[in-house]
Amino acid sequence: MPAVPDESIVSGALPAEAVGGPGAPLVELRHVSKRFGQGAVGAVDVSLGFQAGRMVALFGPSGSGKTTVLHMLGLLLPPDEGEIWLDGRRVDGLAERASAAVRRQSLGFVFQSFGLVPLLTAEENVMVALRLLNIGGDRAREKARAALEIVDLGRRAGHRPAEMSGGEQQRVALARALVHSPKVLMADEPTGELDTATGAYVLDLLRRTARNGAAVVLATHDPAALEVVDTAYFMRDGTVHEPDRAELELWLTEGEGGLAGA
């Protein structure tokens, strides 16, 4: 897998010290809870803050609430209780049009299933994010090509998803998520369908995205992510805590230890 270029991936994001002072969260969940039908629980009084320039992972078994937290953080799912703050502004409870504007301008999403439009080329898939911001024509094409170059897919700009490997499709999805320089990038199992080498490449891209100023939050089962994130949390039954790293590694690799029965 080629080395990740040195170019700034999210050049429009703010440096950590510019967002509410040193160490202040760029995006924050304050005592949020979410319940679903038939007694299912997605989140229970979760309070988490994510800083610009940092990469954070949510680990935990399937159904623990990781995706629910990501979806609330991304304004895709409203909390039943609690507050969501982004860049010093409370953003939960906004009307859908206002929420959509926040998502388009400030948030980026990467999903395990890639979510590419089959009939569009790689370049056109990346340009979709720009059209939502009323950026079109040569400017959109130039930005899309630059984003594809960052993920080392400039040569594949004219290919459709069916003509690309799973790893290439995930990198197109990353380019689409990054092309508008989001302040917060959320990734849900971004390496779940990738081989080890491609997964490592994607994790390195996410780490560089954080180092260039974004807050990066991923939900994952991938043990390799533990080596690159700044902070690792563990979720079970909608609750979250920061575990001992050695204990978390044992759970990830062997399915054993205190977390197995937590």
CATH 3.40.50.300 is held by the domain 19-117+183-261: yes
Distance from C-alpha of 221 to C-alpha of 199, rounded to nearest angstrom: 12
Does 2 have pLDDT greater than 70?
no
Q: How much is the average pLDDT of 90-110?
A: 92
Distance from C-alpha of 85 to C-alpha of 230, rounded to nearest angstrom: 21
Residue spans per domain, the chain: 19-117+183-261
Confidence of residue 15 (pLDDT cuts 50, 70, 90): very low
Does 13 have pLDDT greater than 60?
no
- Give tens-digit pLDDT for 172-182: 999 999 999 99
Residue 213's pLDDT is what? 94
Q: How much is the average pLDDT of 106-124?
A: 90
Query: Which CA distances in Å does 121 have to 15, 157, 161?
Result: 33, 7, 7
**E strand map for 51-157:** 55-59, 81-86, 89-90, 107-111
Residue 83 CA, chain-centre distance (Å), reads 20
Distance from C-alpha of 128 to C-alpha of 20, rounded to nearest angstrom: 32
Does 5 have pLDDT greater than 50?
no
Percent of the chain past pLDDT 70, that is, above it, reads 90
Distance from C-alpha of 153 to C-alpha of 233, rounded to nearest angstrom: 32
Write down the pTM of the prediction. 0.87
Does 122 have pLDDT greater than 90?
yes
Q: Which of the residue ranges 14-23, 104-113, 135-144, 147-156 would you say has the lowest mean pLDDT?
A: 14-23
DSSP code, position 181: -
Does 12 have pLDDT greater than 90?
no
Distance from C-alpha of 178 to C-alpha of 148, rounded to nearest angstrom: 10
Look at residues 25, 29, 28 and name the one whose alpha carbon lies nearest to residue 79.
29
Does 237 have pLDDT greater than 70?
yes
Look at residues 52, 84, 90 and name the one whose alpha carbon lies nearest to residue 71.
84
Q: How much is the average pLDDT of 219-235?
A: 94
Q: Which of the residue ranges 33-47, 83-97, 217-231 would you say has the lowest mean pLDDT?
A: 33-47
Q: How much is the average pLDDT of 44-69?
A: 95
Structure tokens at 104: 């388009």
Residue 260's pLDDT is what? 76
Distance from C-alpha of 147 to C-alpha of 160, rounded to nearest angstrom: 16
- Give tens-digit pLDDT for 64-81: 999 999 999 999 999 999
Query: Strand 184-188 vs strand 215-219: parallel, antiparallel, or unpaired?
Result: parallel
Percent of the chain past pLDDT 90, that is, above it, reads 66
Distance from C-alpha of 217 to C-alpha of 184, rounded to nearest angstrom: 8
Q: Other CB atoms closer than 10 Å to residue 198's CB: what's the count? A: 18
Confidence of residue 30 (pLDDT cuts 50, 70, 90): very high
Q: What is the largest CA-CA distance in the chain?
A: 55
Look at residues 220, 221, 229 and name the one whose alpha carbon lies nearest to residue 188.
220
Q: Other CB atoms closer than 10 Å to residue 206's CB: what's the count? A: 28
Q: Which residue has the higher pLDDT, 221 or 1?
A: 221
Residue 107's pLDDT is what? 94
Q: Which residue has the higher pLDDT, 133 or 6?
A: 133
Distance from C-alpha of 237 to C-alpha of 68, rounded to nearest angstrom: 11
Confidence of residue 262 (pLDDT cuts 50, 70, 90): low
